Amino acid sequence: MSEFQTYKNDLTKSRVVETDIEKALSTLAQGDILVNIERFAFTANNVTYGAAGNTIGYWKFFPATDNASDEWGCLPVWGFAEITASKVDGLTVGERIYGYFPPSDFLVMSPIKVSDARFMDGVTHRAELPAVYNNYLRLAAEPNYDQSMDNIRALLNPLHVTSFCLCDSLQEESYYGAEQVLVLSASSKTAIGMAQGLADDDGAPTIVGITSRANYDFVQSLGCYRKIVCYDELDAINNSKPTVMVDMAGNRAVLGALHGPLGDNMLSCVSVGMTHWETLADNDPMAAQINRGRSSFFFAPAHVQKRIGDWGQDGFNQRTGAFMMTRMQQSADWMRVEEVSGFDDFSKVYDDVVVGKMNPNEGIVVLTS
C-alpha cells in the first residue's frame, strides 16, 4: 500500500512511501474503522493547502508515514472511501463515505457523533482543526445519491462550497459599495463557481474576469463574466470605479499592479487561493503597492461555521446543495475529467499541477487501485 507525500518547504518535490495496512488492521482499536480510499480529486485548491499548510494547519490533518524529520506532509484531498474494517456499532464493512482524506490507499479513523447521515473523525490530533474538514457523509443515507457523479462531486464540491461562501459574503457586505468585482485567475474552478453565482444576482456589480491570454477564449465561453481582461493589458481596467477584488492566485506582482492605480477605489481585496505560491516572498517590486490595510484572507471554513450558526446545519445544507447542484449542471458544458490510475502516474500529473501547467477545463481524479 502507498502514500503520496509532498516536501513541505518545496511543493515541487514529492515521493511515494509504502504503508503497512496489515499492521493497521491487526492493531485496529475498539471505536475505530479502517477505510480504503477509492478515488480523490486533485486541483489547484490542494496546492493552496500546501502553501498555507503551516499557517492554517493543513499539514496536521494526516501526519505523514516514515517521516522522523517532519519535512514531508500529506496534502489533504477530497474523495470517496469504503469501510473495510469496523469496530464501531452502526458503521459496517462495505459502506461508502465522502470527505477529506490523505492521498493514500487507506486511513484509520475514530468516528464520533455518528448519525444516519454523517459522522466526525474524532482522532485526537484533529480536534483542534476546523470542524468542517472532519465531517464525513454516509452515502447510503443520502437522498438521490448518484454514484456516476462521484468524479464531478470530488472535483467541484469543495471548491463550490468556497464559491458559495464568497458569493454569500460579498452579498452580505453589499459588495462594499463597489461598482465592479475583479476576479483574478478567472479560469480557476472556484472563481468560475463564484462568478456563475454572482451572475444570478441582479444586484451584483460588473464582474470582470482577469486571466492569461492562453485562457481568454475558455473564460469568454463561460458567459459568467461581463468583461475579460488579460494580465498583459491591466491598464484596460477602469481604475475610477470603486472596486472589490477577489484573488485566487496570490501573485504579488499582479496585485501591486492593480492596487497601485486603483488607489482609494480599491475598497477590499479578498485573497482566496495561493496557486502562485512561488511569488509569496516579499521581494517583488510591485508588492510595495499592495494595500494591506484593505486586504484579507478568506477562510471558507470560518464562514461555513458562521452560517451553520445562523441557519442551522439543515438550512446550510439546503442552500449550498442548491447552489452546487446548479454549478455541477453548468460544469457539464465545459469540464473534462481525466482519471489517473495509481500514485506513480499521479506523480507525473502532480508535477504539472503544482506549477500551474493544467488546462482550466480539465479535472484530475486519482484512482488508488
- Is the model's pLDDT at 281 over the cut of 60? no
- Is the model's pLDDT at 56 over the cut of 80? no
**Quick check: helix, strand or coil at residue 41?**
strand
Least confident of 269-283, 294-308, 341-355: 269-283
Q: Does domain 2-145+335-367 have CATH number 3.90.180?
A: yes
Q: Provide the pairing of β-strand 336-341 with 362-367.
A: parallel
Q: For 100-146, how does the pLDDT look when each residue is reduced to its tens digit (9 = 90+)?
A: 999 999 999 999 999 999 999 999 999 999 888 999 999 999 888 89
Domains 2-145+335-367 and 159-301 fall in the same CATH topology: no
What are the boundaries of each domain within the chain?
Answer: 2-145+335-367, 159-301
Q: For 207-254, how does the pLDDT look when each residue is reduced to its tens digit (9 = 90+)?
A: 999 999 999 999 999 999 999 999 999 999 999 999 999 998 878 888
**Confidence (pTM):** 0.85
The DSSP string of 161-197 is HHHHHHHHHHHHTGGGG-SEEEEESTTSHHHHHHHHH
C-beta of residue 182 within 8 angstroms of C-beta of residue 237:
yes
What's the distance, CA 152 to chain centroid? Answer: 13
Measuring CA to CA, which residue among 217, 280, 269 is closest to residue 244? Answer: 269
Q: Which CATH superfamily is domain 159-301 in?
A: NAD(P)-binding Rossmann-like Domain (3.40.50.720)
